[in-house]
Amino acid sequence: MTQMQMSISRRAAAEGMVLLKNDGTLPLAPGSEVALFGAFAEYHPGGGGSSRVNSARTVGIAQGLEEAGFMIDPQSRETAVFVIARGASETADAPDGAFDLSAAELATLSGIKAAVFKRIVVVCNCGNALNLAPLDRDAAVGAILWTWFPGGEGGAAVGDILSGKVSPSGRLASTFAERASDYPSDAGFRASRWFVPYEDDIFVGYRHFETIPGAKGKVVYPFGHGLNYTRFRLEALECCQCENVANANVANGQLKRKIETGNNCTMAKIIAVRVRVTNVGKVAGRHSVLCYTSQEGGRAQHPALELRAFAKTRLIAPGESATLALSFPMSDLAYFDDEGASGHPGSWVIDCGRCRILVGGSVRETVEVGAFDIPEQTILSTPGLKLQADRLARRLRADGSFFAAPVAYPGNLATGGGAGFREGPLAKPEITLADVAAGKASLDAFLDQMTLGEALRFLAGRPGDPPYPHSTGAIGDFPKFGIPCVQTCDGPAGVRREGTATNFPCAALLASSFDRALVGEVGRAIGEEAAAFGCHLLLAPGLCIHRHPLCGRNFEYFSEDPLVSGALAAVFVKGVQENGVGATVKHFAGNNREMARRIEKDVVSERAFREIYLRGFERAVREGRPWAVMTAYNGVNGFQCSENHGLVSGILREEWGFDGLVMTDWKTTVPMWREVEAGGDVKMPFEFEHTNMTVAAQGECIKEAECAFGWGYLSAAKIRQSAKRVCQLAMKSRGWPECERRGFP
């Protein structure tokens, strides 16, 4: 850890914390006295599981306030700082009742109020949303600061905000409702260990609360909500259609065609908006602007609002202005037709009807800046139906009613077997991977030297320590053929290792910053540490959707919105990979519950899965170009993700063009041969430790795959393609130069 990493972590924490309520209580006067209550001693810098970091430095809230110059005095009656804390980790969802404040927390608040403090500030150090309605409605509570899991420097960032050194600028990237049962996913969240019906369909998060009749009143803090210590005025300068962003030259206002009420859309490729943000308050601050669309009419159901673009200003001094350019492609308006509403089932369709463009902050603070009509629908592409739901009884409509939608899944068929491997092993290969890297031989010629068992051997991942000292697990490592060891490490919030590392804020906090550049900077800083520690492939970022507020892994994922998730994951990936360390986007896809995650089957319409749960992954893959994708444990419409041919081969590889490595998560329950046949490449190990049991388990996987090959269920072409991807990953990893220095084989 360096001073630079610590500085980035602290700045990111402050940028992503969200001031939910403030009646003028904050900021506090410099050097003022505060009394601490609640869970201030139980500071949570991050979550558990893969996000756990052995932090080199952890500044809790008490220390952060002291470093900011506050005097902590339990006897003072000036300002009470009441800390509410909740831990979170993978493998377990938050328990029933955890969404509400506990009796002990409410009793503590009552005691604080009885002591008659001049000010009460609540700081929430939590990884999951809470019911904050009692605090929001309580006039005695002057301010609420939501910190998420803010990393090792999070306490210092709290001090920066409470002291006014930093004016908060975070916005919620997920909706906070009053009750867990207000979320449409709640009814099926724990109903079964085996099946999770996604009856909420495309109406997830704000798409539900802003669309379904009667749902708006259930929201305490809407998507995009966040306060500041200053005030901003927003002016829409232009809203136009253009062929591309370069031609639009948005910053200079040279746009092709102004959008005015009553215009028809010319089906130009880009919609561009330019806004001026002016600081009309008394302190410097930053302001993020969110652009939404509202589609009305047409043949299909649509949410009332959908986020299309976002941007954040630089620090603006009082009286100064900054101009922001926001744009999105017309193709983002497309819906996936899995019912045949367009007459073209299995197609991406831009619906006819009226489209309004709105800008502002939260979904409740928008102004219309343009509108246009789309006279006729446009079919963009017809990839076909690949993930049809087989047990989904009903789907939610925009009017709050449900409609029956039983559809039979066509099957997950494997291709046949075939030849392509040596009968007996070579004592010493004539071609090594170094020869392939040097252009002296092809990968096909290299693989021709292998037996079936040898080719399958390095499609099975290796456990971590020992013998891989920097690793959560390893890929490759076949000295006979000169294939080096690619060492992986967990890293959503920093490098997870036995030694210390910088603990960065969690993804949910980073999303609340709405700052692409900042998230890219965090990715770059984590990548630098990963490289220094000998890691070759970082197992991050995660970008599943916040579907239910009690999901144990929400903190590790960005948002309830796929645009926020995908756009920020893409810049995180780019930042990591600038250091020669690969990034792995995960968990592909739909890991929205931790309970029984290895056996759970999600039952979801193909439209909802593609528009809500896959769109972020698509953006991360197309824009970020990660080295690897990790499949999720859960199943989708009849098949576990790791063996789902339609998901892995059909969508990820064929539609999106991903040619990198696909790995499983650890300890998957699916046979390796089914995962390879579906388009996966590496089955990661059954344990993290290298034991006789894990070695035996890997041997069984290989034997099963050999049998499947003999029976014609696993093709030689799929095995060879996966082997090629492992080799390609090895040759571009940081482990490759080390391999050459050691003189493999």
Three-state DSSP class for residue 355:
strand
Distance, CA of 554 to CA of 175 (rounded, Å): 12
CB 685 within 8 A of CB 703: no
CA triple 173-174-179, angle to 5 deg: 155
**What element of type H or E holds 332?**
none
Tell whether the torsion through CA atoms of 61, 63, 66 and 68 is positive or negative: negative
Measured from the Cβ of residue 214, the count of other Cβ atoms closer than 10 Å reads 8
Beta strands in 297-365 (DSSP E): 306-312, 321-329, 335-337, 347-350, 353-360
Token output for 716: 């030689």
CB 634 within 8 A of CB 597: yes
Q: How many residues does the chain have?
A: 745
Q: Name the H helices within 245-360.
A: 245-248
The single-letter DSSP state of residue 683 is B
Distance, CA of 210 to CA of 482 (rounded, Å): 57
As beta bridge partners, residue 291 has 309, 359
**Cα 6 to Cα 11, 12, 127, 154, 232, distances in angstroms:** 9, 10, 21, 10, 30
Active-site option among 182, 338, 665, 681: 665
DSSP 418-452: ---SBSS--SS-SS-HHHHHTTSS-HHHHHTT-BH
The β-bridge relationship of strands 537-539 and 483-490 is parallel
**What element of type H or E holds 488?**
strand 483-490
- Catalytic-residue membership of 332: no
CA triple 144-147-152, angle to 5 deg: 145
Q: Which residues make Cβ contacts (< 8 Å) with residue 576, sequence separation at least 6?
A: 491, 523, 524, 526, 527, 530, 538, 540, 582, 583
Distance, CA of 24 to CA of 32 (rounded, Å): 15
Q: Which residues make Cβ contacts (< 8 Å) with residue 201, sequence separation at least 6?
A: 395, 396, 604, 605, 607, 608
> Phi, psi at residue 437, to the nearest 5°?
-65, -30
Token output for 176: 């906070």
Would you call 22 exposed, middle or buried from its count of C-beta atoms within 10 A (0-12, 13-18, 19+)? middle
Token output for 422: 């040596």
Nearest to 511, CA basis, from 459, 554, 463: 554
CB 279 within 8 A of CB 249: no
**What element of type H or E holds 661?**
strand 661-663
Distance, CA of 595 to CA of 556 (rounded, Å): 16
Token output for 178: 């009053």
Query: Annotated catalytic sites, by residue?
Result: 665
